[in-house]
Structure 1
Amino acid sequence: MRRKGGFWWLSVLCLGLLVILAGCGSNNAASNGNSGAAAISGTAAEGDAEKEPVVLKLTTWNPISQTVVDKFQEKYPYITIEHDKVYDQFREIIRTRIVSKSDMDMLWLFPNQVAEFSKENVLMDITGSPWLDNYLEAAVKLGTVDGKTYGVPYNSQPIVMFYNKTLFDQLGLAIPTNWEELMAVSEKIKASGTAPMVIGSKDGWATQFITTSQFGLYQHDNADVFSQLASGDKKWTDPEFTGYFDGMKELADKGYLLENSVGLSYDQVAQVFKEGKAAMWPMGEWGYSENFDADFSAFELSAFPIPVNRGDQPLVTNLVSDNLLVGVSWSKHQEEIKLFMEFVAEPEMAKIWSDETKQAVTVKGGTSETYSPLAASLQPLIDASEAQIFPSMTSSIEPVMFPIFQQILLKQDVDTTKLLEQMQTAQDKDI
């Protein structure tokens, strides 16, 4: 979702020179139909050759597409991209570098970092850049603070329901597109003797996706809902959140979760799912690349967006997309940064990036059809639904929310009204 910049004046200057040369009546030009294009190409090359070499430092915590970088450097031979990959303690290292105003040009940042650093005049303002139209609207919004856009998330991974397609086909089951259909499918799977779903709670973060998949629905109804929760303008105890825990509670109460699986870790859940002990597993798309290889053949695996929508609510696919590409305000190479941002926003380049990094991207039409073995079946389902970017929760929420999910999975006697009050008490700490 993004791009911009470009030395448009250089093309205009070159065209002007050609017009002047043509007016001089060059016989050589007239005798060679390709001479005009050659002149433009030569002038551009000479223009780049005269430029001072520029090194753009790109700092990320995840892989980039070297092929796209190489193509950019071929187009702009005076610019070199220097990739600085920081594996551990990214937030702390970047904060230290920013405080010391280190030599920096471009970064990936998490959404809450963009919000934080935008208030400290650390980030380039890219508001209104034409190439931003190439990105999903939700992605541009994620990098926009107080009406100004500073960055756009690039790679994305959908939250999905992995499922045993072989079993679905044997039982004659269709992919559910809403909650009511998901419950009907679960009932039939349970009747067949297989557990409909598995969710383990040993790793707290892995418990969340049935419930937090509602985030996209909340954002559909109110694009600013999570910023309003963070500011105190809304509360978790407000009427729209009344059913927040109901889906997970219904799964537990109806016995649709694999028996005795609550204490399993993420890795253990993946294993029992691969063994066919449960028909469905709600998880981020990374669950595929981390747990399945080309040799897996126990059953045909596929995935679909998690249908937590009820009644006339839309089906929304939640995308985890937290690597926002931003420029640093004190970089001496602002125009070159914009050239890079514009370049990677081209759908053709985005497809190369998607294939090479094995992830979907937020550039519209930029996700490769072959980035994953699941892409051919999954991407059309995602494209047919509404897409929303998974929001960043404030710091005190998750330490309270994950244990609540564990309580529900354990079928403890829970009062959802009191659970929402606990959520709001945690939220109040961050206001």
Structure 2
Amino acid sequence: MTLSLAACGSGNDSKADNANADASAAPAATAAGEADQDAAPAQDSGEEVTLSLMVTTRPTTDNKDFYLDWLPELVKEKYPNINIEVEQLPTDQYKQTVKLKFASGQGPDIFTWWAGLQAQDLVDAGYVRDMSDFSQLGKFSKSIADSYSFDGKTYAIPLGSSFLTTWYNKDAFTDAGIDKIPENWDEFLAACDKLKAKGYTPITMGDKQSFVIQFGVYQVGASAIYADNYDFDKQLFTGETKFTDPAWIDTINKYKSLYDNGYIIENSLGLSQEQSRQAYLDGKAAMIIDGSFGYDALNKQGAVEFEKGMFAIPSNEAGKEFVYNLTPSNGIFVSANSKNQEAIDQVLEYWFTEGTPLFEKWVELSSDIPCYEGVEDKRPLIQEYLDRYKDYKNIYNLNNAWPEGVSDMMCTKFQEVIAGDATAEDVCNAMQSKFEELTDK
């Protein structure tokens, strides 16, 4: 397994390690009709087939969603005998539900899943199909595809990359006298103080859904842990490092301090992710800790109109190395035991063959930084962000390198921290105990 640390804008990997991504999204429209003719032949008749597709909950927008609307609709136009039934679940329920379905022999035909060790869990269980022979796989960045590869086989179609980030209200920053993006921890805290003094709630979070806690902890941990020891996660498995080491306790304490200092919106434990995002859009908080995957949900107008921007939380001390998060996005996986492999192949060929109507709609609506050859991401905010950090080291989303369950423990335990019922040491002890339980150490 290789965890990619590079954003991608094309199929070659010439801009690898510092993520100097050709991150740009709407594709150059190539002869859709010609490409469509080269795709798998349509089945105008034949046995009716229903494919199950599972995805995490889609953001609420005013437009048709790719997975919920366009994918079933365009597949039906191409293959009248193929129906796609889509099930969406919040992230904190999704993982458990997918695994339970597979354990009971009822796994989805097609589903999205994470890279790294989280993918390896499904591979080791025999749940997912080897996709190494998928005809379009070579069109995707190899460095990203390798994030879903084990023992020389690739088990997913990569959808791109994404980054954790902090969305901010540029107008609020200007009003509070903040004239530049914070570049270290002290500057970040000072910015929060200035916003608070000006009457703004600095940050909103939807901590009722515990998974969002990762978005902040991983941004803080990127510099606080991995600047000094980039191999920290590898060394967890050899016993050289532990989650109870000072670097991790410092990370949790730093993130905890944002709550202790009143920088996070009141009653964050009572807010969902969607409610928190709306609070940011409505001008009720100057920042929200989220990700590039929230682009469609956050790059729209709420009750208040303002200019938006993004930056990574700089947990580094002044003059010390800064590291930010950049990670492979979810990939498309196929059930190894599905009885509908032929129909699945037809859908995937149609989806990922350049120029087909389905391909064009996918690229148009994808929230991921594309990694398909020749496809560019032209969203200005994404490009601005990647240009800002192109010369800095990056790290994957940290849980990609952990056994499944450690991040869940971290998030639920940190909810107790927010409630005042646990300490940073409690969080780190719980993470280490869960890690040892899962790795038999």
Q: TM-score, normalised by structure 1?
A: 0.65
- The corresponding residue for 2:30 is none
- The corresponding residue for 1:212 is 218
1:242-391 alignment to 2 at 5 Å?
Answer: 242-252=249-259, 255=261, 257-258=263-264, 260-261=266-267, 263-266=269-272, 269-270=276-277, 272-274=279-281, 276-285=283-292, 289=296, 294=301, 296-309=303-316, 311-319=319-327, 321-326=329-334, 328=336, 333=341, 337=345, 340=348, 344=352, 346=354, 352-356=361-365, 359-364=367-372, 366=375, 368-369=377-378, 375-382=379-386, 384-385=388-389, 386=394, 388-389=396-397, 391=399
- The corresponding residue for 2:28 is none
Q: Aligned with 1:116: secondary structure? A: helix
Instruction: Give the CA deviation at 1:166.
Output: 1.0
Instruction: Give the CA deviation at 1:150.
Output: 0.7
Question: Given residue 283 of structure 1, which amino acid in structure 2 is its aligned partner?
Answer: D
Cα distance change on mapping 1:186 and 1:159 into 2, 3 Å:
same
Instruction: Give the CA deviation at 1:428.
Output: 2.3
Question: Given residue 64 of structure 1, which amino acid in structure 2 is its aligned partner?
Answer: Y
How far apart, in 1, do the equivalents of 2:218 and 2:295 lie? 20
Cα distance change on mapping 1:351 and 1:407 into 2, 3 Å:
same
1:105-254 alignment to 2 at 5 Å?
Answer: 106-111=110-115, 114-127=119-132, 132=137, 134-135=139-140, 139-154=144-159, 158-170=163-175, 171-199=177-205, 201-214=207-220, 226=233, 229=236, 234-238=241-245, 240-252=247-259
How far apart, in 1, do the equivalents of 2:412 and 2:43 lie? 61
Q: Which structure is richer in relative contact order (CA contacts within 8 A, separation 6 or more)?
A: 2
Cα distance change on mapping 1:351 and 1:226 into 2, 3 Å:
farther
Cα distance change on mapping 1:401 and 1:124 into 2, 3 Å:
closer
Instruction: Give the CA deviation at 1:281.
Output: 1.9
Contact 1:105-1:337 at 8 Å conserved across structures? no
How far apart, in 2, do the equivalents of 1:332 and 1:413 lie? 48
Structure 1 stretches lacking a partner, 5+ long:
5-40, 370-374
Cα distance change on mapping 1:227 and 1:303 into 2, 3 Å:
same
How far apart, in 1, do the equivalents of 2:68 and 2:206 lie? 34
Structure 2 stretches lacking a partner, 5+ long:
1-7, 12-33, 57-65
After superposing the two structures, state which structure 1 stretch, 288-297 or 191-200, moved more: 288-297
Mark the structure with the bigger radius of gyration. 1
Q: Aligned with 1:245: secondary structure? A: helix
Instruction: Give the CA deviation at 1:154.
Output: 2.2
How far apart, in 2, do the equivalents of 1:429 and 1:308 lie? 30
Q: Deviations over 1:88-147 (max 9, x none)?
A: 676677667756877986443455664233224443323487855654566424322344
Q: Deviations over 1:280-319 (max 9, x none)?
A: 2212456665578545434333333443455553442345
Q: Aligned with 2:194: secondary structure? A: helix
How far apart, in 2, do the equivalents of 1:345 and 1:219 lie? 38
Contact 1:2-1:152 at 8 Å conserved across structures? no
How far apart, in 1, do the equivalents of 2:10 and 2:50 lie? 16
Contact 1:139-1:389 at 8 Å conserved across structures? no
Contact 1:251-1:257 at 8 Å conserved across structures? yes
- The corresponding residue for 2:18 is none
Question: Given residue 414 of structure 2, which amino acid in structure 1 is its aligned partner?
Answer: F
- Percent identity for Structure 1 against Structure 2: 21
- The corresponding residue for 2:55 is 61
1:12-31 alignment to 2 at 5 Å?
Answer: none
How far apart, in 1, do the equivalents of 2:145 and 2:228 lie? 18
Contact 1:104-1:331 at 8 Å conserved across structures? no
Cα distance change on mapping 1:272 and 1:330 into 2, 3 Å:
closer
Cα distance change on mapping 1:342 and 1:291 into 2, 3 Å:
closer
Question: Given residue 176 of structure 1, which amino acid in structure 2 is its aligned partner?
Answer: P
Contact 2:201-2:263 at 8 Å conserved across structures? yes
How far apart, in 2, do the equivalents of 1:341 and 1:117 lie? 23
Question: Given residue 86 of structure 2, which amino acid in structure 1 is its aligned partner?
Answer: K
Q: What is the root-mean-square deviation of aligned Cα atoms in Å? A: 5.1
Q: Deviations over 1:9-55 (max 9, x none)?
A: xxxxxxxxxxxxxxxxxxxxxxxxxxxxxxxx9xx98x959999797
Instruction: Give the CA deviation at 1:321.
Output: 3.0
How far apart, in 1, do the equivalents of 2:42 and 2:211 lie? 52
Cα distance change on mapping 1:219 and 1:133 into 2, 3 Å:
farther
Q: Aligned with 2:121: secondary structure? A: helix
Q: Deviations over 1:67-88 (max 9, x none)?
A: 67888899xx789754231346
Contact 1:199-1:261 at 8 Å conserved across structures? no
Matched residue pairs, number?
Answer: 382
Q: TM-score, normalised by structure 2?
A: 0.63
1:86 is aligned to 2:87: yes
After superposing the two structures, state which structure 1 stretch, 125-134 or 174-183, moved more: 125-134
Instruction: Give the CA deviation at 1:404.
Output: 4.3
Contact 2:282-2:302 at 8 Å conserved across structures? no
Question: Given residue 399 of structure 2, which amino acid in structure 1 is its aligned partner?
Answer: P
Contact 2:192-2:263 at 8 Å conserved across structures? no
Q: Aligned with 1:86: secondary structure? A: strand
